[in-house]
Amino acid sequence: MSELDVMGAPGTAADGLAGEKLLRVENLSVDFPTDDGTVHAVRDVSFTLGRGEVLGIVGESGSGKSVSSMAVMGLLPKTAKISGSIRFKDKELVGLSYKQMQPVRGNGISMIFQDPMTSLNPVYTVGWQLAEAHRAHHDVSKKAAMAKAVEALELVGIPQPDRRAEQYPHEFSGGMRQRVMIAMAIINDPDVIIADEPTTALDVTVQAQILDTLLRIRDETSAGIMIITHDLGVVAGMVDRVQVMYGGTVVEQGGVDEVFEAQRMPYTVGLLGSIPNPNLLGKRLTPIKGAPPSLMNLPQGCPFSPRCPLAIDICRETEPQLLETDRAGHYARCHRSDHLATIEQPQRLFAHDEIGTVENPASLTAADPDVPVAEDLADVEARLHEEEKPTS
Ligand SMILES: Nc1ncnc2c1ncn2[C@@H]1O[C@H](COP(=O)(O)OP(=O)(O)OP(=O)(O)O)[C@@H](O)[C@H]1O
Ligand code: SF4
Ligand SMILES: [Mg+2]
């Protein structure tokens, strides 16, 4: 059975909530030829999105999150070389022209971008813009389209929607503008909504409200939603499944609780160490040392190997496949995921001297023999194993 058969098989944990597959992305790769060389922006990415499902796509800057979603929307520049398959319901999208994609875009699949001001026209009222977006896909009167616009504003939680529909974008706060963008995304009742960093520019309270709004939209419309973010913390407790991207490809994928509970790829462990955790309030975070790889000059083998505390020779030679781990429906692209599974406190692998460890910030000022603070990373693993051995 191929990797994809497993991921798409009905009844597995990798399935959407309600079973119907809205999107099937298989072996998607996107290259950008440039004067300096080819950027391998997306490499062999496969995933599915089910009706009513929320999928989180997480990874550092430049990991290929936006290019993957722009490929789904058919919005990549003509220079992009795309291979693989993107099926929306039964329709193959790869190979369609911009014009052929037009009926799908907005109507079947819609997108919410990070910065609403660049997507809204300042010289037209919000209601007019929503109504026109509806009329672009439906043969209805202006009055009916405006009624639909007001309904969409109401659905995204904008108070007094009929009055607000007559206002201009600058009359809305940042959070309210992002709600307008969500209204724009749902005005044609799409099956799939892609939200690319929908809350990055907003403060934490407003972020939570926007994410709640998206969940409510999912409940009310059964749309499948993809939320793209660099912050794993944002998707916790919100998405059904999570897909971690690194170096242009998926490195870990599974139910969100599974992935939060037991990571099977060290990069995800590192990502979790670099997000605020309410249970560790006041303690330091442990960002992953080093920089993400250049997608023009990827290192040989696993792209995470230069930063990975578990890297061994094979990691620097051969890139691992995305395979199911010891946990059903949980996939990882790592030669050592079985080994990672045996480590009790994997976050300690990412301890480093400037930061200390998340579990013991006191190590920054006082020597603690139990906390591997200033050791060479390669020694940390050996030490953890020593600690795990039963004492006689
Ligand atoms: N038109 C293009 N031509 C050349 N390279 C591109 C083009 N568009 C994107 N890239 C490159 O593709 C890679 C992936 O970019 P992408 O925008 O998908 O990253 P991302 O994961 O969304 O990052 P961020 O979190 O910063 O939004 C980057 O190295 C980027 O520079
Ligand atoms: S394959 Fe090797 S280098 Fe890559 S994440 Fe796994 S252990 Fe680390
Ligand atoms: Mg992006």
Residue with CA at minimum distance from ligand 1 atom 28? 62
In the predicted model, is pLDDT for residue 226 greater than 90? Answer: yes
Residue to substitute in 65, 113, 246, 271 for testing ligand 1 pocket (most ligand atoms within 8 angstroms of CB): 65
Assess whether the C-beta atom of 97 lies below 6 angstroms from ligand 1.
no
Which pLDDT score is estimated for 217?
87
In the predicted model, is pLDDT for residue 43 greater than 50? Answer: yes
Cβ neighbours for 213, distance < 8 A, ≥ 6 positions apart: 156, 157, 179, 182
State the distance from the centre of ligand 2 to the C-alpha of 256, rounded, in angstroms: 21
Contact yes or no for 216/233 (Cβ under 8 A): no
Assess whether the C-beta atom of 334 lies below 6 angstroms from ligand 2.
yes
Assess whether the C-beta atom of 320 lies below 6 angstroms from ligand 2.
yes
Contact yes or no for 374/353 (Cβ under 8 A): yes
Contact yes or no for 99/78 (Cβ under 8 A): no
Kindly state the helix (H) or strand (E) to which residue 26 belongs, with its residue range.
strand 21-34
- At 374-387, the pLDDT tens digits run 334 444 445 444 54
Which pLDDT score is estimated for 285?
62
Which pLDDT score is estimated for 352?
64
Cβ neighbours for 369, distance < 8 A, ≥ 6 positions apart: none
Q: Any idea which of 4-18, 58-72, 210-224 has the lowest mean pLDDT?
A: 4-18
From the CA of 319, give the closest atom in ligand 2: 1
> Of 10, 60, 6, 3, whose CA–CA distance to 27 is shortest?
3
State the distance from the centre of ligand 3 to the C-alpha of 114, rounded, in angstroms: 9
Average pLDDT, whole number, for the chain? Answer: 83
pTM for the full model?
A: 0.83
Judging by beta carbons within 10 Å of its beta carbon (0-12, 13-18, 19+), is residue 95 exposed, middle or buried? exposed
From the CA of 309, give the closest atom in ligand 2: 8
- The rounded percent of the chain whose pLDDT value lies above 90 is 59
> Looking up tokens 């990975």, which residue turns up?
308
- Distance CA(302)–CA(99), nearest Å, equals 38
CATH annotation of 1-108+188-354: 3.40.50.300
> Of 350, 345, 338, 235, whose CA–CA distance to 304 is shortest?
350
- Distance CA(176)–CA(18), nearest Å, equals 31
Assess whether the C-beta atom of 255 lies below 6 angstroms from ligand 2.
no
Q: Any idea which of 110-114, 121-125, 328-332 has the lowest mean pLDDT?
A: 110-114
Assess whether the C-beta atom of 225 lies below 6 angstroms from ligand 2.
no
Assess whether the C-beta atom of 265 lies below 6 angstroms from ligand 2.
yes
- At 156-211, the pLDDT tens digits run 889 999 999 999 999 998 888 888 988 998 999 899 999 998 877 677 777 788 88
For the chain, give every residue range classified as CATH 3.40.50.300: 1-108+188-354
Which pLDDT score is estimated for 107?
85
- At 263-301, the pLDDT tens digits run 999 999 998 876 655 555 555 566 788 899 999 999 999
Ligand nearest to the CA of 72: 1
Question: Residue 131 — very low, low, confident or very high, per pLDDT cuts 50/70/90?
Answer: very high
- The rounded percent of the chain whose pLDDT value lies above 70 is 80
DSSP code for 360: B
DSSP code for 333: -
Assess whether the C-beta atom of 49 lies below 6 angstroms from ligand 2.
no
Residue to substitute in 336, 339, 349, 380 for testing ligand 2 pocket (most ligand atoms within 8 angstroms of CB): 336
DSSP code for 298: P
> Of 330, 314, 190, whose CA–CA distance to 263 is shortest?
330
In the predicted model, is pLDDT for residue 42 greater than 60? Answer: yes
- Distance CA(305)–CA(299), nearest Å, equals 8
State the distance from the centre of ligand 1 to the C-alpha of 374, rounded, in angstroms: 35
